[in-house]
Structure 1
Amino acid sequence: MDFLLLFSFMILIDSLVIYRITKYSKDKTYNDVIKNIKMNYLYLIYGDKAKYDKKFFPILIGILILFVVLLNIFMYNSNMDIYKLIVEIVSEILIILSLVIFWKNLNIEIDVYICKKGIGFKNVFVKWGEFEGYSKKDNFIILKRKLKPKFIQKLSTSKNIYLNKDVEDIIKNFLPKK
């Protein structure tokens, strides 16, 4: 089997496994839940910057598909071995399909639990003590995390958590406004 085809199958299987895990995994139960809100995962992590990602990624997939079609037309005209041509077409399609599955996995609605001891989402719990305060920007409340050393900040998914403005009354009971 060709290496490129094997590699694309591995990426596809990996993205399918991750998709199944995130789709069917149950959130752990949180005690003392004050409010449960549904929110897009990208908005939770990136706030208003996520709207650009949500618009850009489908355009990127379209450009990739156009590039693959044009590349295969040029390769077909170059008298390439038909077996290699088919293998490359299939592997490119599988890689693009993997990217679409990965995007679908990121662009989901999740439950965010605001509890007395902190905030929980996707089996992650952040205690109120890990935040230094909150601020309002556009349609979101930004919960600012305390600064950590640079190497730990790069390993973590995000410094801040963005929530909808309708939970401000609850948040101001736990955090000071910055």
Structure 2
Amino acid sequence: MGFMELAQSVVYTEQASSVSSARTIFQWGGTISALFLLLLNRTGRRSHIQTTLLVLYLFTSFPTVLFKILRGQFGRWVAFLAVGANLFFPRTIPASRFILFVITPEWLANGLRDDIVGGFFCLIIGVLLVIAEIRLIITESEASRGSRNWECTFCHCFGYCFGIAFLLFFTILYLWKGI
């Protein structure tokens, strides 16, 4: 092996480790941000569109170790119990979003998670979340023109904007390092 081949392999290894570390940061940071936003969504307005978008984001950015656990035997049992609970308490326990993690075909799950396409998919979801939040704020402000009784408190709106900013930050960082 000559000097040029050795130098190229070192550069390639460095780029591969940079992409791998960016993917790990994206997975953990994006997951924490998405879970924070889901928590704010469940304690605030309970927007079904935002919840669905965040679950799709989590599906693409969930850390590999945890994703393999959910796709295994444990995930199947949790999905089975969620469907059973949904039969008796359909308004309290929406099982359909969790089942996405378990029953999605392997080629689609790996294609979205292991390729840069998943980063672009998450970026589109982040932009859609921003648009959905702006629409909800405008709708609530128009509905409460004369009164001060609309649900967007300062802390909730600030936390949601903060969470979306981190969600977009981790996604853009991953795309920037991955390309």
**Which TM-score bucket, shorter chain as reference?**
0.3 to 0.5
Which has the larger helix fraction? 2
Alignment TM-score, normalising by the size of structure 1: 0.34
Which has the larger strand fraction? 1
Alignment TM-score, normalising by the size of structure 2: 0.33
